[in-house]
Amino acid sequence: MIDSSSGKGDLNSEDNNLRLHKNKFNIHEYPNLDIFFNAYRNSDIIMSILNLDDFTYVDINDSWIRAFGYSRQEVIGQRHTSMSLWINAVQDELKYQEIRENNGMQSYEVQYCSKDGGIGYGMVCSQLIVIDGHNFCLNAMIDITDRKQAENRLLQSEESLKNILFTLASISDPFYAINAEWRIVYVNQRAQEWWQRSQEELYGKLLWEIICEPEKPRVYKQICMAMRERVTVNYETFSVKMASWFEVTIYPARDGGLSFYFKDITARKQAEQALKDSEERHRLLAEKLREVDLAQSEDRFYKIFNLNPDMIVFMHMEDNTYIEANQAALDTYGFTRDEIIGRTGVQIEAINPAEPLYNHFLEQLKSFGIVKNFEFTTRSKSGKKIDLMVSSVLINLDGKQCRLSILKDISEKKRYELEIARLDRLNLVGKMAASIGHEIRNPMTSVRGFLQMFNAQENTSDKKVYYDLMIEELDRANAIITEFLSLAKDKTADLQPHSLGVIIARIRPMIEAEALMHGKHVRILPGRDIKLLLDENEIRQIILNLVRNGMDAMSPGGTITISTEENEREVILCIADQGCGIDPGLVELLGTPFVSSKENGVGLGLAVCYSIAARHGARINFETGSAGTVFRVYFPKIL
């Protein structure tokens, strides 16, 4: 062996391997050998010498020691297989046999493990050398760990880009991107519909060639400012082709280009226009009223006031008491005139005094004298939530400061917006489930089968525990995928005549056993036996999901009640629990995928229930409070 401290090429008497050959050759007979060993020891290349007769290490250089973390004393004389240096058994006797037969092997990759457990990659060249008739292998390795890690990061970046492109292609609003030369480099399906051109017709086109001439002057300055100053710009535009209003947001991209996102605001613009028209009608009417006799004006004003379909109220600013309210306001809130005149909105419990938006509305009105299109939430006499869009102006009545308010009930509009958002998200998850669910489940089934086979062949209990745990986790993942697949929009239901009572009776033992296991009770109140068009498996799933949610919400000792009711056109499945009710912050989000109040919940259970109900032409309603929650599923009767 070469002395590492002196860097000389003489033989070290403490080296067990080369010492065997000490008397067979003399280093001074090989004048180039001294130069070789100096270059070998001091090289930055990771190098080692292996005895091919017994596959033990004869020598390693300093670069090898730094890369692997072992000292020479730990390595010299050891078989390469006993040190677990090579992953995937790359460095085995068969490979060295191939090196011996071919006098070496060039440029092959290996994956190695250092002493501290670090994983690295190397590019190896192996050369057969013969000294006095004995075969040795000289291995030279360049560390390519950084390059491999960079390749992996590049692959991950490419995968992330694919996911982003998939998301952009799936959104229901137009989206496109241009580069720094103003040429279109990406356009989703909705944007193709916007321009009524195909992807092939749009890619590579100059933006100014695509934008319609009537629209170009209105948006030219905004687009140029976003490109020049690298800032986000917003503007509104009307698409004649799609007969819709859009809010356009332009984002600067890192590559010097721009991204354009279009949001459909047609409903909002229509509501704003309707409110403007209403205000204009009232303004014109007020102007006409001022032109006639005071008596006639008062008579006409009160007729308009009381017959107006919009809610109109007069209130004192000093104490916020009602002075007058028209019939539309009384009908909407369920009060009589005597119940509100002289009282405040807080006193009749229509307004929550802690409502920050209402207090902000009053502050704005006091500061500016007029407020337009302000939204906040109120309650009717029965407690029903009413979302309002309010426009108010300060007026003077009998020397006192008052306010005239026009109120528009936008509760239905809000509900539609939330439902559309929930359906869009549900539809997106359904598409994802249909696309990838089966592709994931097939390899999982194979893995589970092999685990069961290994488990059956295993005799030691220690490993069986691990096999059982892996199978259990695969089953759990498979259950989540099953729920994903239930969200698929194009999934068809096998509708056959069934009775809800019969289905409940079949799964009753399962429900009662689960309730008993958690110290809870089940009460079943079957109704009249009526045949409905149902998919039995899906109805089982909707019942079990709602029952399990109810059980999770209850403390031990609670009772969950399953019953059926009916009206003239529907049969109603009712599931009531005795829990503490649903968090008010989650009420409007129920049925949306991935929304859950449970610590380890996935948030797909109720989304699956809503999907199943939709496939049956059914609807789901619920009531919740401190005494518990009742879910009702309304199934249409067979006509």
SS3 content of the chain, % helix, strand, coil (to 5): 45, 25, 30
**Residues 29-53: pLDDT tens digits?**
445 566 777 778 888 889 998 888 8
**Residues 58-98: pLDDT tens digits?**
889 989 999 889 998 999 988 877 787 877 655 566 777 77
User: What tokens were used for 132?
Assistant: 């006095």
Cβ distance 523 to 475 under 8 Å? Answer: no
Report the share of the chain in percent with pLDDT over 70.
79
Cβ distance 291 to 385 under 8 Å? Answer: no
Distance between CA atoms of residues 135 and 21, nearest Å: 12
pTM comes to 0.37
Distance between CA atoms of residues 188 and 171, nearest Å: 8
C-alpha angle 214/220/222, rounded to 5°? 130
Biggest CA–CA distance in the chain, Å, is 135
Q: Which residues contact 489 (CB under 8 A, 6 or more apart)?
A: 426, 427, 430, 431, 434
Q: Is the pLDDT of residue 238 over 60?
A: yes
**Residues 130-168: pLDDT tens digits?**
877 788 888 899 888 888 888 877 777 666 666 566 655
Distance between CA atoms of residues 62 and 45, nearest Å: 9
Provide the Cα torsion 457, 460, 463, 465; round to 10°. 100
Strands (E), 326-478: 370-379, 385-397, 400-409
Q: Which helix (H) or strand (E) holds 480?
A: helix 461-486
pLDDT confidence band for 286 (50 / 70 / 90): confident
Cβ distance 23 to 11 under 8 Å? Answer: no
- Phi, psi of 45, rounded to the nearest 5 degrees: -80, 140
User: What tokens were used for 200?
Assistant: 């092939």
User: What tokens were used for 622?
Assistant: 């619920």
Average model confidence (pLDDT) across the chain: 79
For 258-264, the CB contacts below 8 A with 24+ separation are 258/177, 258/178, 258/223, 258/226, 258/227, 259/175, 259/176, 259/177, 260/174, 260/175, 260/176, 260/177, 260/178, 261/173, 261/174, 261/175, 262/173, 262/174, 262/175, 262/190, 262/191, 262/194, 263/173, 264/173
pLDDT of the residue at 11 = 33
Q: Which of 342, 349, 372, 346 is nearest to 359 (CA)?
A: 346
Distance between CA atoms of residues 414 and 409, nearest Å: 10
pLDDT of the residue at 9 = 35
- The helix/strand count (H/E) of the chain reads as 20, 22
Q: Are strands 559-566 and 521-525 parallel, antiparallel or unpaired?
A: parallel
Which residues are paired to 412 by β-bridges?
none
**Residues 545-564: pLDDT tens digits?**
899 888 988 999 999 999 99
Cβ distance 211 to 219 under 8 Å? Answer: yes
Q: What is the mean pLDDT of residues 381-397?
A: 86
**Residues 194-205: pLDDT tens digits?**
778 888 888 888
User: What tokens were used for 16?
Assistant: 């067990």
Residues 24-42 as b or e (16 or more Cβ within 10 Å = b)? ebeeeeeeebbeebeebbe
pLDDT of the residue at 12 = 39
Q: What is the mean pLDDT of residues 467-477?
A: 76
- Phi, psi of 306, rounded to the nearest 5 degrees: -80, -25
Q: Which residues contact 439 (CB under 8 A, 6 or more apart)?
A: none
Q: Which helix (H) or strand (E) holds 524?
A: strand 521-525
Residue 177, classed as helix, strand or coil, is strand
